[in-house]
Amino acid sequence: MKSDKQPADDVFSYDELPYGGNTHASTHPRRIGAIARLFGIEPVDLQHARVLEIGCGLGDDLLPLAAAYPEADFIGIDLGRRHVDVANGLARERGLANVNFRQMDITAMDPNLGRFDYVIAHGVFSWVPPPVAQALLRICESLLTDRGLVYISYNTYPDWEQMGKVRDAMRAHVAGLPSPLAQVEATRRFVAKEVLAKRPDTSKNQSYDTAIRRVAARVEHASDSYVFHEFLCEHNHPIWFADFVANASDHGLRYVGDTDRTAMWGDGDGATSNRIEREQALDRALGRGFRSSVLCKNPLEPTSEALPESLLNTCLSTQMLDRGEGQFGTSDAVQVTVTGTGIVKALRDITKAQGRPIPFASEWLQDNESQSVCDDLLNLIKVGLIDVGEPGGPGATQIEERPVAFEIARALAAEGRDLVVGLGHRATTLDSIGQFILPRLDGTRDRNALARQVLAAMRRGELPALAPGTKKADAQKQVLTDIESWLERTLASELLVSSFKHN
């Protein structure tokens, strides 16, 4: 039986199986802002912004933001009591006075919350009853400042045509079981035995078979909470992209763009010049199953095409490597070749930062080439090889004499976690030396002091020892070299803050 009301099942299920543990780069306001900037909208500076997250879960997205932007104001709301209690507990533990989590139902949101420059709802729209999704759009519009931006993610057709059939089958299979956890466990057993252990059956509907194998792979590796809330809970309502845009428009919200840049283009040669139709056609062609869209309020008017010159005011990053002679490529072999002094210099500088966003540099603009440098960079953004973000923020631009690490990452490493999140919401896995050094990067130690502590920890057996027989002077040199390359990776992962901005 379908219900439009919540607390019942889903909310108890979130209290039973809290949802969290992941910080999503796509929800970072600096990315939301940059997408708006690409389409001609000047976003509000995050340093002093008000940010609301609706359906904030355990606060994984807001807590790092609150630590990184102490002068901005953050509120998270969620119906799950446990979510809100855990998130507030973490905020207190980390001494974050600029973030606050409240238990609240989307359908009964307090209008006294004030207005917000960024409203984020990740994993909510498709996963609540349809009337609640409509209330979400309504409240987003009413709580938004005039230049404010909304981020909403949702499951989409066509991919969910097949995925939905798989979901229905999974739900039917475990319907009689009493708890979310029992249902997840039964689902895992089922896919292991009936799907993963068997070879594809070529006599069957191939698209269904592919879908169930993809679901099975996710069920095998994902958390209990994800498996339940994606595949087994009552509410998961995908939508066609064009219908989402029309629905948002009914509530006075306009589509600006998507934080997954590759979702936004379509071949300009296609039959239609209408951007929404073009993106919808692309979703169909590529079988897209998920979107994370940025919306603004009427009467703001995003441009119909991305503006190459808007890149002059953004930061750019890439996972590509410089392969020399104008060739740049990713580790999985996608390769681009560029010509022109400006674009080669730009890509050299961006790749050198190894993933850390760097501001657009005027020196990339060579005479007669300015337009083409921006056009080339925009094309690389469109195919997902370059990422775009708003400039500013507390990140270090170089390794300082006494480096300072982002305090949330430092605290997590001190607790013994090996997965930490940098300023751009990207997760980084720490090796043993990283786990040891990160908590010590508080601006009081230079490289020599760090090396002394690493060597002492090696002697105590807390860190793996160097090769037997290594001389004392060589040991010091080797540890200093290791620390330097570790610091470089740490800078690239945006785990270092500028002590100048920090103090």
| Contacts to ligand SAM by CB under 6 A | 6, 14, 19-20, 22, 55-57, 60, 78-80, 83, 105-106, 122-124, 127-128, 132, 229
Do 209 and 200 form a contact (C-beta atoms < 8 A)?
yes
What's the DSSP call for residue 394? S
Cβ at position 493, least distance to ligand SAM in Å:
21
What's the DSSP call for residue 367? T
| Six token digits for residue 458 | 């090696």
Nearer to ligand SAM (CB atom), residue 8 or residue 399: 8
- Count of beta carbons in the 10 Å neighbourhood of residue 390: 23
Sole residue written with tokens 């022109």 = 340
| Six token digits for residue 338 | 């560029």
Cβ at position 139, least distance to ligand SAM in Å:
10
Cβ at position 295, least distance to ligand SAM in Å:
17
* Rg, C-alpha atoms of the chain: 24
Nearer to ligand SAM (CB atom), residue 14 or residue 406: 14
Nearer to ligand SAM (CB atom), residue 80 or residue 357: 80
Ranges of beta strands (E only) in 318-405 are 321-324, 327-329, 335-337, 358-359, 387-389, 404-405
Do 46 and 29 form a contact (C-beta atoms < 8 A)?
yes
Nearer to ligand SAM (CB atom), residue 53 or residue 283: 53
Cβ at position 6, least distance to ligand SAM in Å:
5
Cβ at position 60, least distance to ligand SAM in Å:
6
Phi, psi angles (nearest 5°) of residue 73: -125, 130
The CA–CA distances, whole Å, from 237 to 17, 154, 161, 183, 398 equal 20, 8, 11, 20, 45
Nearer to ligand SAM (CB atom), residue 57 or residue 266: 57
d(CA 451, CA 5) in angstroms, rounded, equals 59
Residue whose C-beta lies closest to ligand SAM: 55
Cβ at position 116, least distance to ligand SAM in Å:
16
Nearer to ligand SAM (CB atom), residue 80 or residue 393: 80
Nearer to ligand SAM (CB atom), residue 38 or residue 144: 144
Preceding peptide of 158 cis, ω within 30°: yes
Cβ at position 104, least distance to ligand SAM in Å:
6
